[in-house]
Amino acid sequence: MFNLRPKDQFDFGSVAVNDDPDIEVHKFKRASKQGLWFESLRLLRDITLIISVFALFMVFVAQPVVVEGTSMVPELSNGERLLVNKLVYYNIESFSWGHIERGDIVVFWYPNDPNKSFVKRVIGLPGEDVEVRNGIVYIDGKQLREPYLDAEHNQTLPNYTQTRVKDHYYFVMGDNRDNSSDSRIWGLVPEKYIYGKAFFRYWRPSKAGFLQNGKPNLEETEDLEEGDYRAGNKE
C-alpha cells in the first residue's frame, strides 16, 4: 500500500555563480571596508558643505564683534559679543535689515584710522541738519526724542553747532554722551565705512537676545527744560 523505500538520490554537484547571474556572493570583510570608505566620503562631503555655507554666511551676511569701552552704556557694555548684519553694506532698500535707519546701532571703521572699529548709534541721516543744544539733539530744527538714553550718563549737557550731513555720510553718537568719541568730535562717518548693523547679543548669556532699533522720533516742540533732559527724555 505504501512504498517506504527511499527514492533514488541525485548528486547535483557544486554550485557556481556562473550558473545563475542573479546569485550574489557576499564577501563581508571587503563589503565592510567599502561601506566604511563610502560613509567616510559622505561625511567629508557634508562637513565641506557645512564649512562652505558657514564661510559664505560669515563673509556676506553676519560677523561677530566684541564691544570695547563704555560709550554705548546702558545698551551695550564692555566685553559683550554681538552679531552684526552685513547686508547693510549692500544698501538693500527693500527690507529694514538691508539699509540703515535712525536709531540703528552700527559698526564701522573709524574714519581717522580704518584699522580700528567703532560701534555707535545712528543719529543723523544724509541731507539732514544736526544740532545739539543743552544736550538735546535737533534734526532739521525738530527735537529728537531718544528713549534709550540714561540721565546718569548724560550730565554734561553739551552743545554742538549745527552741521549738515553730506550725502552718503552719517552722524553717529554713543548712548553714553558724557564719555563717547563720536561725530561731535571727529566728524561724519562715510557710508562705505559702515560694515554692519548690530542685531543680536550672544554674550553675556543673561542679556542675550535681539537688539532693537532705538526708535527715536522727531517732534515739533519747544526746547525742553534741563530737568526734562536729565530724566532721559522719556515720556
Domain residue spans of the chain: 59-230
Q: What is the pLDDT of residue 225?
A: 46
Active site members = 71, 120
> What residues in the chain have per-residue pLDDT under 70?
1-35, 52-60, 94, 221-235
3-class SS letters over 101-139: CCCCEEEEECCCCCCCEEEEEEEECCCCEEEEECCEEEE
pLDDT of residue 56: 60
pLDDT of 74 reads 94
Please give the pLDDT value at position 223.
47
The domain made up of 59-230 has a fold known as: Umud Fragment, subunit A (2.10.109)
Q: 195 vs 104, 107, 198, 213, CA distance in Å?
A: 13, 6, 10, 17
What's the sign of the alpha-carbon dihedral 52, 55, 59, 61?
positive
1-to-5, 6, 7, 8, 49 alpha-carbon distances in Å:
12, 15, 16, 19, 78
Contacts of 201 (CB under 8 A, 6+ apart): 76, 80, 81, 82, 83, 207, 208, 209, 210, 211
